[in-house]
Amino acid sequence: MPANVREIKGRMKAVGNIERITKTMQMIATARFQAMQRRAVAAQAYTRKIAEVVSELADSVKGDQGAASPLLQKPENATGKVALLVLTSNRGLCGGYNANIIRAVNGFFKEHEDVHLEVSGKKGNAYFKFIGKQVDVYHDEFDDSPTYEEVEAVANTYMNDFVAGKYDAVYVIYTAFISMAKQEAQALQLLPMQPPEGEGSGEVKGEAMYDFSPEPEELLAELLPVTVKTRLYQCFNESLVSEQLSRMVAMKAATDSAGKMKKSLGRQYNRARQSAITTELSEIIGGAAALDQ
């Protein structure tokens, strides 16, 4: 067999192996995406509703400055320093997922000079090491399915540091899962807590909807920490959903590309093999003709 035919056949085998790997990874990412999407959607309604109730509570005690929670307002003695948690993936092969997050982080650095940087995910940690950016805290305790208790411990640290006046604000940059067709890297201000977008803007006030018992101040002090924790947990959930969706799409594109390449190599192989057969036949016919003479 000619060398070029053997080479093309070897490439076809290598591309076929890659196609099987990417197809398997696509199937795994699809299964994980479906499971994580169910978990994120299930928690989304609770996160939205508790944020709405806290917004109503905050409005009801707004006139009483002494009752205002420290989690709702900036520290009196501003330090100019903010804390930032960046959520990236532990694994690659997920398209532009991490690149979009890094782009949002670079934009954040342009707006804030003094930043306490914390990173979750090996890819983000590796990037900041590569560019020489100091990572103050690297969270390696989170795997592909972080629990609420693990996220709660991080949220408690942020709330304690914020109340102590260590930071003026706490932000989280993550990939929000908006729909199957849209995932967007966003910077969420975790502290001081802000009401969810679209809430509290109507003409009907919370006093007409809720009758609080016990008093709003007591409820607010109880629900505010829970709201911060659930918001941060939802950021982790949506990041994981977006990561698996990005990996699923990337592996689907890689599988399709491998299939097209295999077909192209198959045509090249057939042409090279036909050319080799034609050459061998020509040599045999020529040799037979020489013997007849």
Q: What is the reported pLDDT for 114?
A: 92
Global confidence as pTM: 0.82
Q: What is the reported pLDDT for 52?
A: 79
Q: 1 versus 109: which is more confidently predicted?
A: 109
Residues 163 and 183 in one domain: yes
Q: At a CB cut-off of 8 Å and minimum separation 6, what does 105 contact?
A: 84, 86, 173
Residues 37 and 103 in one domain: yes
Residues 244 and 265 in one domain: no
Residues 79 and 222 in one domain: yes
Residues 197 and 288 in one domain: no
Query: How many domains is the chain partitioned into structurally?
Result: 2
Whether residue 18 is predicted with pLDDT greater than 90 in this model: the reply is yes
Residue numbers of the domain that contains 101: 22-250
The rounded distance, in Å, linking the Cα atoms of 102 and 92 is: 14
Give the chain's mean pLDDT: 85
pLDDT in tens, 262-275: 999 999 888 888 88
